[in-house]
A and B are shown apart, each in its own frame.
Chain A
């Protein structure tokens, strides 16, 4: 049996040469291949942005929805058919800005899905405005005097909310990134993988050399079950640590739903039980 080719050949890729997104696409394709996932049972869900175009270049089911809104459909897809592997993927603006509320509550819900965030610290598709993760002082055509807001710290927020898997990787460290992403997809529950990604066109500050100089692996003695330690390391700004900050097993959203209490079938296989509905009607009336 020939292995499934997750990356589509011959597409007209809309990313700039040298963009970190190419590396992320490769990373995702290789990881899915390594995990030997069934392409028939794998769904990529994305919002809108440069990052969110990734599913277009894959041989997989996809739901390419609205800017900021990848997590709600991803959660619903998993809840409607728990047998599917669901990966929700988008940019930092999409996941942490426009979709910030969904990010918070998806973590609380803890569906078994992987949340990949391409963090280039800028809005790529809309040509270079600040994103929630842009650093203070970052000058853009819109933030002309430089960003004055505190950057959003996705890892610290996720750990504070008790996310079940929280990691950061850098696309320039492909080997490490693959190992972490593999663990994230295998993880049972919500898994955040924040992927540092240079935008070579609109972010001239956080470049490949900058990321190389300002990132470092988590110390070898890091204990990912220690939430306080994970939180402290997530708060460090220099260097930005890479690796699995925190993980814990906790109840998964879809497995706690009453709909699956006595019936494991996905929703599409179900039909209303008319005799039971007649009883429900009598009881209500």
Chain B
């Protein structure tokens, strides 16, 4: 008889870079989806190509999962270092699994002859599929969902056959523990179910938003977006160029928008620092621009493969002078898609830079989701055919200058980083200067109002205690609140973090005790909220060791808050 079904199962795989942990994670996630379940895969790695100690965590559940959990039910150790690094996360209830060739016979480690079974199936690398088979058995599953996942991953042919054989040998090796973490499969969903990470969601959002040009310089964790888009260059007709540096990348992006393309640049903090002057140019020439800023912990090179929300202020302030911009911070793959697509519309409509602010945790985590909603019609940029007397910076009816591009119409399109008159010619007239500054800054209004993405309230509308979060921390808080429901407490999740949407104010007014939760050390969003609204922030919950908040982290903070 199987043990009682679990509500969810958390599996951690630990090993060095080069072991292919991410592939194991992907195959198991595909198997979970094929088995009608939900899954989230969180990858955590050191900044090295070989060696080190990395881990991949899978959370499998009958409910949708969108947050990271500390709980470990089963931990598969691919090498000795993994034990040292992961033992702190394991409890007495955790099943440790390892190769007796590595660990010998130890009472605390369930032996699984990984290497031997892999070699028997055709090679040591096949140990990965042995692990998959073994784990599937622990969940009490037949081979079917895993076979489908391997098929999806390896196509047809010898490689598939070897992986299937390896998986079966792992499945058979798990006979004694069949269903130890029983999580019954369910009928596979009827509609298509996607399995996407944040990088893929941002890339798809860019395409849905009408992106036709990408210029960037590689930097973790922003490179994934660049790579996903590079693969689509021919199919979707977009120009993708690896620039010589980030300064070039952002200036290329601006040149592309000037010529009628819709450009994206993707970068991380250090690269974005180099783009500061380009941001300012963007403001001066009133160009649209979409920047994907993928945060990792700084300062300096920091922790290149870890996560943090430490770059909100640089996103807010980068670039000299005063000019409008918007910052969107998605909290899930669905939001990453929607925000990136919206960023193109927003940038185009406001002729301003729009920054999509993500982080390593969001970008490298994989979830199953419904197909992402595509617009009914392809978005079109607001480009006008110019008349012979066209003046690039003459205000239109709504104050924003209709945007012409060279070669489309009969006028000249003159863009100038010097202060300029309506025609785009250098000027030092004080009245013209004042009028141009006012015209540019007036674009803040639509960014706050009709173009804004409103915050989302989770919890009772009559809250007294209001938790405020932005970006990727949202889902862990939502889940923790479900576990530790505090009285009259809600979460306000902000997707548009700058400028604060006009609709934000009403939420703050209803709150008696505001707590801001951020994945950084100094509370950057709290500072922004206080500065812009004058609200009183009673407490801040901060984490900045390079890891995301887990559901348990937040649940513990909620319990403490309950005791207050």
**Chain A contact residues, CB within 8 Å of chain B:** 11, 14, 39-41, 43, 45, 48, 53, 55-56, 59-66, 69, 71-77, 79-81, 83-84, 101-102, 104-105, 257-259, 261-263, 266-268, 270-274, 276-278, 280-282, 284-285
Which 6 residue pairs are nearest across A and B when measured between Cβ atoms? A73-B255, A268-B260, A285-B194, A76-B255, A105-B244, A72-B251
| Cα distance A261–B204 in the bound complex, in angstroms | 21
Assess whether B248 is in contact with A63, with CB atoms less than 8 Å apart.
no
Mark B428-472 against chain A: 1 for CB-CB distance below 8 A, else 0: 000000000000000000000000000000000000000000000
Q: Which of B200, B256, B412 contacts A59 (CB 8 A)?
A: B412
| Cα distance A263–B234 in the bound complex, in angstroms | 9
Assess whether A281 is in contact with B407, with CB atoms less than 8 Å apart.
no
Q: Which of B168-197 contact A (CB under 8 A)?
A: 192-196
| Cα distance A41–B237 in the bound complex, in angstroms | 22
Assess whether B256 is in contact with A285, with CB atoms less than 8 Å apart.
no
Assess whether B196 is in contact with A284, with CB atoms less than 8 Å apart.
yes
Q: Which of B213, B254, B381 contacts A65 (CB 8 A)?
A: B254
Assess whether B414 is in contact with A40, with CB atoms less than 8 Å apart.
no
Whether a CB of chain A sits under 8 angstroms from the CB of B378 is: yes
* Extra inter-chain contacts (17) besides given A261-B234, A267-B262, CB under 8 Å: A61-B414, A63-B258, A72-B249, A72-B251, A73-B251, A76-B258, A76-B261, A77-B406, A80-B239, A81-B406, A259-B240, A266-B260, A267-B256, A267-B260, A271-B380, A274-B375, A277-B208
Whether a CB of chain A sits under 8 angstroms from the CB of B207 is: yes
In the complex, residue of chain A having the shortest beta-carbon distance to the beta carbon of B193: A285
Assess whether B414 is in contact with A77, with CB atoms less than 8 Å apart.
no
Chosen A-B contacts, 19 in total, with CB atoms closer than 8 Å, are: A14-B426, A48-B417, A60-B412, A61-B407, A65-B415, A66-B281, A69-B278, A71-B248, A73-B254, A76-B254, A76-B261, A77-B259, A77-B406, A259-B233, A268-B383, A271-B378, A271-B379, A272-B210, A282-B371
In the complex, residue of chain B having the shortest beta-carbon distance to the beta carbon of A76: B255
Closest-CB distance, A111 to chain B (whole angstroms): 10
Q: Which of B200, B240, B406 contacts A61 (CB 8 A)?
A: B406
| Cα distance A56–B418 in the bound complex, in angstroms | 11
Known: A278-B371, A285-B195. A40 touches B410 (CB 8 A): yes
Closest-CB distance, A44 to chain B (whole angstroms): 9
| Cα distance A66–B416 in the bound complex, in angstroms | 9
| Cα distance A61–B404 in the bound complex, in angstroms | 11
What residues on A are CB-neighbors of B200 within 8 Å?
A: 284-285
Known: A105-B244, A272-B208, A281-B371. A76 touches B215 (CB 8 A): yes
Known: A64-B418, A79-B241, A258-B233. A45 touches B255 (CB 8 A): yes
Closest-CB distance, A163 to chain B (whole angstroms): 15
Known: A267-B239, A281-B371. A258 touches B234 (CB 8 A): yes
In the complex, residue of chain B having the shortest beta-carbon distance to the beta carbon of A263: B237
| Cα distance A27–B241 in the bound complex, in angstroms | 33
What residues on A are CB-neighbors of B412 within 8 Å?
A: 39, 59-62
Q: Which of A43, A73, A284 neighbours the largest number of chain B CB atoms within 10 Å of its CB?
A: A73
| Cα distance A274–B374 in the bound complex, in angstroms | 7
Q: Which of B245, B255, B258, B371 contacts A75 (CB 8 A)?
A: B255
Assess whether A81 is in contact with B259, with CB atoms less than 8 Å apart.
yes
What residues on B are CB-neighbors of A64 within 8 Å?
A: 414-418, 426
Q: Which of B228-278 contact A (CB under 8 A)?
A: 228, 232-241, 243-245, 247-249, 251-256, 258-263, 277-278
| Cα distance A60–B194 in the bound complex, in angstroms | 49
Closest-CB distance, B455 to chain A (whole angstroms): 27
What residues on B are CB-neighbors of A274 within 8 Å?
A: 374-375, 377-378
Assess whether A101 is in contact with B406, with CB atoms less than 8 Å apart.
no
What residues on B are CB-neighbors of A73 within 8 Å?
A: 251-252, 254-256, 258
Assess whether A257 is in contact with B233, with CB atoms less than 8 Å apart.
yes
Q: Which of A101, A259, A266 contacts B238 (CB 8 A)?
A: A259
What residues on B are CB-neighbors of A268 within 8 Å?
A: 259-261, 381, 383, 405, 408
Q: Which of B326-373 contact A (CB under 8 A)?
A: 369, 371-372
What residues on B are CB-neighbors of A277 within 8 Å?
A: 204, 207-208, 236, 374
Assess whether A41 is in contact with B374, with CB atoms less than 8 Å apart.
no
Assess whether B204 is in contact with A280, with CB atoms less than 8 Å apart.
yes
Assess whether B239 is in contact with A79, with CB atoms less than 8 Å apart.
yes
Assess whether B407 is in contact with A83, with CB atoms less than 8 Å apart.
yes
Assess whether A271 is in contact with B210, with CB atoms less than 8 Å apart.
yes
Assess whether A280 is in contact with B235, with CB atoms less than 8 Å apart.
yes
Assess whether B245 is in contact with A66, with CB atoms less than 8 Å apart.
no
Assess whether B252 is in contact with A257, with CB atoms less than 8 Å apart.
no
Assess whether B406 is in contact with A41, with CB atoms less than 8 Å apart.
yes
Known: A61-B406, A268-B383. A281 touches B194 (CB 8 A): yes
What residues on A are CB-neighbors of B371 within 8 Å?
A: 278, 281-282, 285
In the complex, residue of chain B having the shortest beta-carbon distance to the beta carbon of A277: B207
Q: Which of B370-403 contact A (CB under 8 A)?
A: 371-372, 374-375, 377-381, 383
What residues on B are CB-neighbors of A66 within 8 Å?
A: 251, 277-278, 281, 417
In the complex, residue of chain A having the shortest beta-carbon distance to the beta carbon of B418: A64
Assess whether A69 is in contact with B247, with CB atoms less than 8 Å apart.
yes
In the complex, residue of chain A having the shortest beta-carbon distance to the beta carbon of B337: A281
Known: A41-B407, A102-B244. A282 touches B236 (CB 8 A): no
Whether a CB of chain A sits under 8 angstroms from the CB of B413 is: yes
Assess whether B406 is in contact with A76, with CB atoms less than 8 Å apart.
no
Q: Which of A40, A59, A71, A101 neighbours the largest number of chain B CB atoms within 10 Å of its CB?
A: A40
Q: Which of B245, B277, B381 contacts A101 (CB 8 A)?
A: B245
Q: Which of B234, B243, B262, B406 neighbours the largest number of chain A CB atoms within 10 Å of its CB?
A: B406
Q: Which of A48, A61, A79, A105 contacts B213 (CB 8 A)?
A: A79
Assess whether A282 is in contact with B383, with CB atoms less than 8 Å apart.
no
| Cα distance A83–B405 in the bound complex, in angstroms | 13
Known: A76-B255, A105-B248. A272 touches B233 (CB 8 A): no
| Cα distance A282–B204 in the bound complex, in angstroms | 11
What residues on A are CB-neighbors of B249 within 8 Å?
A: 72
In the complex, residue of chain A having the shortest beta-carbon distance to the beta carbon of B234: A258
| Cα distance A79–B207 in the bound complex, in angstroms | 18
Closest-CB distance, B254 to chain A (whole angstroms): 6
Assess whether A77 is in contact with B258, with CB atoms less than 8 Å apart.
yes
